[in-house]
Amino acid sequence: MALPFDRRIDRRALLAGGLATAAVAGVGLTACGPTNSGSQSDASATGGTLSIAMSAANIPFPSTPPNQGYEGYRFVGNNIYDALTRLNLDQDKTLPVPHPSLAEKWDVSEDLKTWTFTLRKGVTFHDGTAFNADAVIFQLDRLKNEKFKYFSETDAANGATQVRYIDKYEAVDDSTVKITCTQPYAWLHWDLLHVYMPSPAVIKKVGNDKYNAHATGTGPFKMTKYVDGETMELTRYDKWWPGPVKLDKIVLYPQPEAASRLSMLQSGQVNWAEVPTPDSIDQLKADGDQIFMHKYPHGIMPRFNLFRKPFKGNTKLRQALNYALDRDGCAALINNVGYGAKQYVYEGHPDYAPNNPGYSYDVAKAKQLLSESGYQPGELTITMGYTTGGSGNMFPDVMMQKLQADFKAIGVATKLVPMEWTVLISIGLDGLNSDKWKNLDILWASPAAGMTPTGYNSTFMSKRPGGQANATGLDDPVIDKNLTLAPQQKEEKDQHAYLQKMMDQAVSQAYFLFWMHDLNLRVMSADVKNFVEPQSWWVDFSKITVSGS
């Protein structure tokens, strides 16, 4: 039903035609023709306005760090702010890794404990104040130093992971910062991707509580409008240090409902929609829209409860269930916007264990392993908790019903326990050994599997930071050893070698249900140009243009 004219109908133009006329005229809307607002005519000259329907339920708040998970980093954080490092998101060939950003370069001491960052000179915040070593120290103090006047309890809590291995930090001179880690740690530049640099002048002026309304960074876009719950407008910052981006503006809308995002795109209100309904792909293609799908570090990898029977110490049972999964069938149910997983990370990821085939769909083998594991068909009922919502969870309802049918086919009954996203996160914090959750046998998990090497820790290590047991009771000395040694290697190649060994062990022991990888479905109207879909949750906006009519 695509109409052969510019999709971006200006609402005023519509109105000028009059509601009644529009309603009567129906398709005669073409009469409204191209749009007339000022920004439109500018659009052809420069980069245009990119309007995005996000899948988050709200506009992520622009704090440091933002909320709404990686969607907040993707659309808000990375656009308003720079960090010391930034991923090379402008390509889709390899997994993006940290590159210099506000830090021009860095040196790491031989023991991998001391990092010395040389800061870029001449960078200014959106409010005109200069970025320098003091600004870096200011932000680290906000996150680490409880006695600091501008210490932010909430930002510190939210961003604790990213400064966990930082012990001491000091400004050597105006453009040099030295950070000492608590232990040999080769991944600090990965952590620092997430540590955005806000303008100290603004925070001193408005305070932490009111900061979100005045978010100011050094990034490619300035926040020019922010209505919580409704919209955010980001306007190009002409003095961005690598040179200005092409786009004039990005407008963000939150819309958790896929069908609504689709309508937003079709009506021309946005030209970029995250995860539309999978079955709409054919129609969208026919309409001339651009469909993007690409492998990236995101999968559904449910975790077994390893604190107790039946899964504790029963590798064969865990393997049986992995063999029972009809992954291609599951992919078909979601119109192939995801694909079956062989391992925790996708094939082609640097941490993918090269010589481990993973688990195929093999009902006979699954049945055999089930009986070898000590259970006959019909004897076992497992309880699985999963979330019904939250962006970045693929399609839980459809997938869980398929899983239930798959397990039933080998004689294992599954009780599905749908739960809210908040509850699922709470379980991750409490652990499956807590009284409240110990009835669960398997727990849904949708990790950003392998986006950063630092992300494995809380899922794979036997002990979580602070000494608590792993949330699902995973406790494997081989995994612990390899994951401990990896960040102590100077060379990336060696780091990956250890991580591959870790993966190999996790797959062989079937500590997870290696189930589905996501393909990051998104759709854009034809006028969006130069978008590259990287192997990442984040994207690069700097080269995108939106052609005018």
Partner 1 sequence: MTETFVPPLLPKSFGGGVDPVSRAAAERRKEEWNAAVESVKAQSFWIETGKRFLRNRTGVVAAAIVVALALSAIFAPLISPYDPLIGQPVDRLKDIGTPGHILGTDEQGRDMLSRILFGGRLSLLAGFVPTVAAAVIGTLIGVIAGMVRGVVGTVLMRFMDMLYAFPAILLAIAVGSALGPGLTNTIIAVTIVYIPPVARVAQSSTRRVVVQEFIEAARLSGASRARIAWSQILPNVLNDIIVYASGLVGVAMIIAASLSFLGLGSAPPAPEWGYMLNSLRGELFTTPLVTIVPGFFIFLTSVAFNLASDALREAMDSRL
Partner 2 sequence: MLRLIIRRILMAVPILIGVSIIVFLLMSVVPGDPEAGLVPDDATPAERQAIRHQLGLDQPLPIRYFHWAVSALHGDLGYSTLRRREVSDLLQQAWGNTFVLAAVSAIFGIALGLLLGYLAGTRRGKVVDRVVSIFSLGGLSIPSFFLAILLLGVLSGQLRLFPSGGATFDEGWGVAIQSLVLPVLSGAMITMAITARVTRAAIVDVFSADFVETLRAKGLTEFGVRMHVLRNAISPVLTTSGVQIGALLGGSVLVETIFRWPGMGLLLYTAISTRDLEVVQGTTLVIALTFVVINLVVDLVQAAIDPRVRGAVS
Which residues bind to partner 2, rule: CB under 8 A? 1, 3, 9, 11-12, 14-15, 19, 22-23, 26-27, 29, 57-58, 61, 63, 67, 153-154, 157-161, 164, 209, 212, 228-231, 253-257, 259-260, 262-269, 389, 419-423, 425-426, 428-429, 436, 457-458, 464-468
Residue 429 binding: pick among partner 2, partner 1, none (C-beta 5-8 Å cut-off by kind): partner 2
Residue with the two structure tokens 């939250």: 390
Residue 259 interacting with partner 1 (CB under 8 A): yes
Q: Which is nearer to partner 1, 114 or 388 (CB)?
A: 388
CA angle (395 as vertex; 391, 396 as ends), nearest 5:
95
Binds 350: which of partner 2, partner 1, none (CB < 5-8 Å by kind): none
Per partner kind, with CB cut-offs from 5 to 8 A, the member of partner 2, partner 1, none near residue 398 is partner 1
By a kind-dependent CB cut-off of 5 to 8 A, residue 388 interacts, out of partner 2, partner 1, none, with partner 1
From the list partner 1, partner 2, none, pick the one residue 154 interacts with, judged by a Cβ distance below 5 to 8 Å according to partner type: partner 2
Whether residue 297 has a cis bond before it, omega within 30° of 0: no
Q: Which member of 16, 172, 286, 332 binds partner 1 (CB under 8 A)?
A: 332
Residue from 212, 389, 469, 478 touching partner 1 (CB under 8 A): that is: 389
Q: For residue 179, what are the contacts with CB-CB under 8 A and spacing of at least 6? A: 114, 115, 116, 117, 140, 166, 168, 169, 188
Closest of 501, 510, 456 to residue 478, by C-alpha: 501
In order of 83, 139, 161, 181, 524, the CA distances from 169 in angstroms are 16, 11, 16, 9, 43
Out of 382, 400, 443, 503, the residue judged to bind partner 1 by CB under 8 A: 400
Sort 378 into a burial class: Cβ within 10 Å, 0-12 / 13-18 / 19+: exposed
Question: CA-CA distance, 235 to 21, in Å (whole number)?
Answer: 35
Binding status of residue 418 toward partner 1 by CB under 8 A: yes
| Residue 526 near partner 1 by CB under 8 A | no
* 224, containing H or E segment: strand 221-227
CA distance 152 to 138: 11
Q: Among partner 2, partner 1, none, what does residue 404 contact (CB within 5–8 Å per kind)?
A: partner 1
Separation CA 408–CA 437 (nearest Å):
24
Whether residue 34 is preceded by a cis peptide bond, meaning omega within 30 degrees of 0, is no
* Shortest Å distance, C-beta 343 to partner 1: 23
Give CA–CA dist 381/364, Å, rounded: 19
Q: Which is nearer to partner 1, 94 or 381 (CB)?
A: 381
CB of 134 to partner 2, least distance (A): 25
Q: Where are the beta strands (DSSP E) in 368-453?
A: 380-387, 412-419, 442-443
Distance CA 386, CA 350 (A): 29
User: Shortest approach of partner 2 to residue 196 CB, angstroms?
Assistant: 15
Contact residues: partner 1, CB under 8 A: 258-259, 262, 277-280, 283, 329-330, 332-333, 387-389, 397-398, 400-402, 404-405, 416-418, 420
